[in-house]
Chains A and B, each alone.
Chain A
Amino acid sequence: MLQDSLRRFIYGSKGFRIRIPIASCSLAAGAGEVYQAALKAVDRLGIDAEVYRVGCTGLCFMDPWVEIAKEGLPPAIYANVKPDQVATIIERYVSGDLSGAVAVRFKQGGERIPSLDELDFWRLQVRFVSRNCGLVDPESIEDYIASGGYQGLRKALSMRRDEVIETIKRSGLRGRGGAGFPTWFKWRVAYEQESDVKYVICNGDEGDPGAFMNRLLAESDPHRVLEGLIIAGYAIGATKGFIFVRAEKPLMADRLEKAVEDARKAGFLGKGILGTNFDFDVEVYRSAGAFVCGEETALIAAIEGRSRPRQRPPYPATSGLWGKPTVINNVETLAHVATIFQVGVEEFTKLGTEKSKGTKMFCVTGSVNRTGVYEVPIGTKIKTLVFDIAGGPPEGRKVKAVQVGGPSGGCIPIELADLELDYESLQSYGAIMGSGGLVVIDDGNCMVDVAKFFTGFTLAESCGKCLPCRVGMKVLSEILEKITSGQGTLEDLDLAQELGESIAKTGLCALGGTAPNPVLSTLRYYKHEYIEHVLNKRCPAKVCPKLVNYYIDPNLCRGCTQCAKVCPVGAISGSPGKVHTVNTEVCVKCGQCFSICPFGAVKKV
């Protein structure tokens, strides 16, 4: 974004703006209370500042953050702010005392506080689709337009439909929802169908249990997603679009709905859009939520009021919603479409790799100091993202692997951290890009347990329509249960491998086809951990409950007797005020003593 337009959003029309992120993630961390406190503080201090709602920057580790900007002073960012600190922070800032801020912008030199642009977690990002996130008010169409919004739609509508598709082909944009399918190709197929009714659908399901970049993007800059959807609708000749969102993500749905209403009032939706003869409208569909709904045929079934996916072909582009040609694109893909038309294809193609252009948003969680959503060029190295940007593991921990791609993805050992994040390299190492969830796993996590977690997840989410997925995953999860409880044999490992491979080949939809990936990839790189569970009945990370022993640290035990009282088999002895001990012969490893001890004296060994 241009420097002066950036300044305009940061200082605001009054030249004094206090920005606070109001999005599901920051609200969960307490931003709502901070916002109220800021309103009160401004009122009480009698200063003429706007307390301004914005979306989320993706710097979750700072939540809730506050950025204060007054003309004449450098904008200052404060992290992990508590409501009772807000007034003091504002008072000090106004007096020119920036202490406590974690970063400033437009640094003149002199201040001891680092500039945001110098900090790795910001410097190494390329914020192409997320450019507005955390900067503009997501509920204001004026803000979006002021940032260049809907210029992309104007540009697209001045072109022929096939030229629009050609532009996207030139950009090389690939779907950000998982498979990396070339966007122009689906558009072209749908465009070529003879049909008076066609649909476009924005896939905002985002069911990966460790990722939320689509939600963040749609909550922080909903118009960008909508603009992309309208352009897609124009390109294929659709009259109606749907945005598919989970009912359990109400803020995302509300903001998209507001964006649709405001865009309709402004003439970007409805009849004869922007004076052309293009009629198009959009409905936000609140889904009842099930992981498989993210899969495109299941998503269509849900809108039709049914459940469960179906066999492809026919592909939705020829026969989709109610049998009509339908294009389905991911939230981030569509936001890219809008941005590409706003700023030009070249700005996009200069980023990324030969085969995959542009940027991707990654949600980095797990064992890192800076949990967050970061947008980087495709082809960025895993180590750049995990160590430089996300700050590596907390002190005392060692990173073991990264899990990429969620329940359909796989684990990549940290020894391969030089690997570049792009569709092909990830796939060749047994993971997938997926929607961009990246979970950092450390030496305190058990790889067999990780495989069991994802297997349990997909099993619960399997729609049950096809046998390989329904029965195969059940058996696979039973094998993992056996292994993690110390009952496994070496034959079980071979069986898990064979079964996984055959489910991958025969699953009806891609859920089944990819469901065994977490097991297959951990077997590939961490067979030694499986073998340790099987042969030595030991869980090296001390995670699997049946394979750990409990022990009471005499230095921490205060003799409160709670553990002895809760133990169902009387395995704990000790009298009040005296150190207690566990009799491992009797212990059934239920873990109740571990969870009840108020002093953390019960340890796993």
Chain B
Amino acid sequence: MDPRKLVRELVSRYGPDRGRLIQILQEVQKEYRYLPRESLEEVSKELGVSLPEVLNVATFYHQFRLEPVGKYIAYVCFGTACYLKGSADVYEAMRRAAGLNDGRSTTEDRTLTIEKARCFGCCSLAPVVMVVSSDGTERYVHGRLTPSEARRLVSTYRSRALRSGGVGVASG
């Protein structure tokens, strides 16, 4: 669906109430896995909230993304327990293996996104990486990882993404 149309539908469902701003953005993200630019513009128009304020809210909360994601998203736990057991090494190893050496977090071919996350609550398995498919249907947890095991995860999931023929959800 066109993001603008989705926003209009959501606004008519929840009412043009600025108190619903966060909920509406959550719904949009559920559909697209990120917040397309047009959707933010439409939210601004429909709720009568200025675009900078919408962007302010969208960038303040961690849940929201402004960029499309890969087929799989690997969340490297940066909770305290995982950090102390070397999650920074795991994260760096995975980024290098995926060829992400600048600010980007998603591979060129949109097979994999690598992000930091906070404690998953399974600190006894630290350091932990959780991989989810961007459509939310698959979820895998990998615990007690060494950097070299973490590198292997990158190739495993990238090739799995290519095999299933799917790359990340298309933009727009």
Contacts and interface: CB of A to CB of B under 8 A. Distances in A.
Interface centre among B17, B25, B60, B78 (most CB of A within 10 A): B60
Contacts of A25: 120-122
Interface string B117-131: 011111111101010
A28 B63 contact: no
Interface in B109-167: 118-126, 128, 130, 141, 143, 146-148, 150-151
Interface centre among A303, A441, A596 (most CB of B within 10 A): A596
A373 B108 CA distance: 41
Given A24-B120, A290-B60, A307-B57, A366 B22 contact: no
Nearest to B24: A305
Contacts of A216: 121
Contacts, number: 125
Given A290-B61, A367-B84, A28 B119 contact: no
Nearest to A290: B61
Interface stretch (B2-10, B66-74, B89-97): B89-97
A439 B83 CA distance: 11
Interface string A276-307: 00000000001111100000000000111111
B80 A305 contact: no
Nearest to A322: B19
A597 B78 CA distance: 23
B130 A28 contact: yes
A403 B120 contact: no
Contact of B151 (A29, A61, A286, A596): A596
Interface in A192-224: 207, 209-212, 215-216
Interface centre among A30, A305, A371 (most CB of B within 10 A): A305
Interface string B86-107: 0001001100100000000000
Contacts of A209: 78-80, 83, 118-119
Contacts of B120: 24-25, 28
A290 B57 CA distance: 11
B45 interface: no
B64 interface: yes
Report, as a range, how many residues of chain B touch the other chain: 35 or more
A306 B49 CA distance: 11
A180 interface: no
Contact of A305 (B21, B84, B126, B151): B21
B76 to A, nearest CB: 13
Contact of A439 (B81, B141, B146, B147): B81
A595 B89 contact: yes
Contact of A28 (B60, B83, B122): B122
A597 B18 CA distance: 53
Nearest to B19: A305
Contact of A463 (B60, B78, B93): B60
B119 A286 contact: no
A406 B64 CA distance: 24
Contacts of A306: 57
A302 B141 CA distance: 31
A305 B18 contact: yes
Given A439-B81, A591-B89, A215 B57 contact: no
12 contacts: A29-B141, A209-B78, A288-B62, A288-B63, A307-B57, A365-B123, A365-B124, A371-B123, A463-B60, A592-B96, A595-B150, A600-B146
Cβ-closest 10 pairs across A and B: A210-B80, A595-B147, A288-B61, A371-B124, A25-B121, A365-B81, A595-B93, A28-B122, A365-B123, A288-B63
Given A60-B121, A288-B62, A595-B93, 16 more contacts: A25-B121, A25-B122, A30-B141, A63-B124, A211-B119, A288-B64, A289-B61, A289-B62, A305-B17, A307-B61, A365-B124, A371-B81, A439-B84, A441-B84, A453-B80, A591-B92
Interface of A: 24-25, 28-30, 60-61, 63, 207, 209-212, 215-216, 247-248, 286-290, 302-308, 365-367, 371-372, 403, 406, 437, 439, 441, 445, 450, 453, 463, 591-592, 594-598, 600
